[in-house]
């Protein structure tokens, strides 16, 4: 590359390069990275196809190409990801928010209504769910917890980014252990916990295995270790008729359905599909006297 390379030529070259590397969405990745380097929106690239890049811009862009070619996720390179139409900061300390998790937000909003219910976002990570809920429902009392202090720092910054820092309380705790002294404080507990099983590792993309935080992904041989723990402990922390909402892995629904048939703490169980038709969200409702 030299100073004669225009926006269009750079995009064409990068797209072809990413295709040879067998990267997903090569053109989109090229555009996102170039827009990031040039500090403009992707749409502006199309309005500036003939604009030549400076030597400094080419150097900076080359560095992002090398990182993406090494399979580092685009979101970690740019430091941001959109979720629920909100731009969020992401770092390697947190999972990259994904579209299917928006179904978790949708169901939580349906259950919460416009009341002042207390909602716990368990294992908040980037704070995506907590921030989305706070953005949509001013009356909700939202607590976001995580055992990772680095993740909580990212989540706090995302709340601040959208002027919601006074709407979300952040707590450092391993799952529900930090709330042991409070008698059933929550109307809703919502969580996107680790749910990748060890046997799934070979099928995961390098972007996930090599870059996303392992502790937020892996959950025992079948991926259900953390989910089972939450299901077992949640009734103690839910108010009567309170709800537990969990994102689960593909294929987990049938196994959990059999196990939950033996659990008396919950009187209602349903599985919701994500945008791809996969049973992705587990909704459990606590009984009145459980």
Range of the domain at 40: 7-70
**235's tokens:** 């009734």
Residues 36 and 177 in one domain: no
Is residue 110 one of the residues assigned to a domain?
yes
pLDDT of residue 2: 47
Instruction: Yes or no: say if 67 and 74 are a contact pair by the CB < 8 Å rule.
Output: no
How many domains does the chain contain in total?
A: 2
Full DSSP string of 218-287: B-SSSS-HHHHHHHHHGGGGEEEEEEEEEE--TTHHHHHHHHHTT--SEEEEEEEE-TTS-EEEEEEEE-
Which of 17, 44, 70 is a domain's end point?
Answer: 70
pTM, to two decimals = 0.90
* pLDDT tens track for 13-38: 999 999 999 999 999 999 999 999 99
3-state class of 30 per DSSP?
Answer: helix
Distance (Å, whole) CA 165 – CA 160: 5
For residue 192, the SS3 value is coil
Q: Do 63 and 109 fall into the same domain?
A: no
Contact 123, 92 (CB under 8 A): no
Average pLDDT over residues 231-255: 92
Res 169 pLDDT > 80: yes
Residue 188: what pLDDT? 96
Does the residue 178 lie in any domain?
Answer: yes
**Same-domain pairing of 87 and 199:** yes
Whole-number pLDDT of residue 289: 62
Q: For 19-33, 78-92, 135-149, 196-210, which range has the lowest pLDDT when averaged over its residues?
A: 196-210
Average pLDDT over residues 262-286: 91
Calculate what percentage of the chain has a pLDDT beyond 70.
Answer: 98
Region 187-205 average pLDDT: 90
Of 20-34, 121-135, 137-151, 179-193, the range with the lowest mean pLDDT is: 179-193
What is the chain's mean pLDDT, rounded?
Answer: 92
In a domain, 1, yes or no: no
């Amino acid at each position: 590359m030299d100073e004669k390379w225009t926006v269009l030529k750079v995009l064409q070259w990068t797209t072809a390069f990413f295709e040879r590397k067998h990267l997903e969405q090569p053109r989109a990745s090229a555009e996102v990275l170039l827009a990031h380097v040039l500090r403009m929106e992707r749409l502006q690239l199309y309005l500036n196809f003939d604009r030549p890049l400076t030597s400094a811009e080419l150097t900076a862009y080359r560095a992002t190409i090398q990182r993406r070619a090494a399979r580092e996720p685009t979101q970690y390179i740019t430091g941001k990801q959109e979720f629920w139409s909100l731009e969020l900061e992401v770092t390697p300390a947190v999972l990259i928010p994904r579209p299917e998790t928006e179904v978790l937000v949708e169901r939580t909003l349906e259950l919460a209504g416009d009341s002042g219910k207390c909602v716990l976002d368990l294992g908040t990570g980037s704070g995506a769910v907590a921030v989305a809920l706070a953005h949509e429902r001013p009356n909700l009392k939202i607590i976001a917890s995580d055992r990772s202090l680095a993740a909580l720092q990212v989540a706090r910054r995302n709340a601040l980014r959208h002027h919601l820092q006074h709407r979300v309380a952040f707590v450092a705790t391993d799952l529900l252990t930090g709330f042991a002294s409070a008698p059933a404080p929550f109307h809703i507990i919502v969580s996107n916990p680790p749910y990748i099983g060890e046997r799934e590792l070979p099928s995961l993309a390098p972007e996930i295995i090599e870059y996303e935080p392992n502790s937020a992904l892996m959950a025992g041989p079948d991926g259900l270790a953390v989910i089972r723990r939450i299901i077992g402990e949640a009734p103690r922390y839910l108010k009567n008729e309170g709800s537990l909402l969990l994102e689960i892995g593909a294929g987990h629904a049938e196994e959990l359905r059999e196990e939950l048939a033996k659990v008396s703490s919950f009187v209602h169980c349903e599985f919701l599909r994500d945008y791809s038709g996969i049973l992705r969200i587990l909704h459990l409702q606590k009984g009145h006297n459980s």
